Amino acid sequence: MRRTYISPEFDYSPIWGTFNMEEESTVFGSKMLEIEDNLEIHDQNLVYFQTQDAEQLDLSIESSLPSISYSASEDKRLNHTLVLDESQTESQKNTRARWIITIDLRTILTNYLFATLKRWRTFEGVRNSMTKSNDVSFAMQEYIIKNVLDRYKLNRVELYLNYVPITNQNILKYNNLWASESNQFRTAQLTSDIVNPTNQLKSIQTQTEFDYSSTIITFSQEKNSSQFCFDYYFKLFYEKI
């Protein structure tokens, strides 16, 4: 065999395709995750199984392990804030108090999609060692962020309020609770009791970031805040772009 004495500049080594979680278009087309046209993030509980290393390899074996449950309601509770609008007067606070809800849409949608992919075992067979980060869960989140999030936009938010009489208990003033939440003073109503057409608040203002990463809802109580606090809940509706 004749020697060329030309040193190779590159070393070609085979790697797993899952090292790159960003889908890239080619002349002949590319694979892409099939997604729902519309999403409603309500009170779903998504249950899935995996190994202790968060891999999904064999359902018959993993089903004998403790299941993992994702609660959409709990996720929304953890990723939003409710505060009084400090720009209003004291008179407004004591009558029709104005409130501001800030929702972390990006985190909620990412978590919901992650649990859905786990539920349907979309990445079954992918091991930690087959990912760049050596963590299949991190790789799945990376896939969602790079390929799925920008394919959805927020369509609307539905807000529900169930008013609770204070009945001379001033300690309950402004003591508003997320559905099914509880604290040292009281326990909120069940989600099913709050989410009905009679409790839906129509008069709300929303301001959503251009990249749908978050949204701000501003609304005023319809019942006197000196006499009523409220239990509340919201649903998120997305549509495919």
Q: Per-residue pLDDT for 34 more than 90? A: no
Per-residue pLDDT reduced to its tens digit, 84-112:
999 999 999 999 999 999 999 999 999 99
For the chain, counts of helices (H) and of strands (E): 6, 11
Q: What is the pLDDT of residue 31?
A: 59
Per-residue pLDDT reduced to its tens digit, 165-202:
998 788 999 999 999 999 989 999 999 999 999 999 99
Whole-number percent of the chain with pLDDT over 70: 89
Dist CA 35 CA 88 (whole Å): 43
CB atoms within 10 A of CB 37: 8
Alpha-carbon distances of 23 from 17, 26, 32, 117, 220, rounded to whole Å: 10, 10, 7, 16, 44
Element (H, E) at 103: strand 98-103
Q: Model confidence at 11, in pLDDT bands (50, 70, 90)?
A: low
Under a CB-based contact definition with an 8 Å cutoff, are residues 174 and 225 in contact?
A: yes
Interstrand relation of 228-240 and 177-178 (parallel, antiparallel or unpaired): parallel
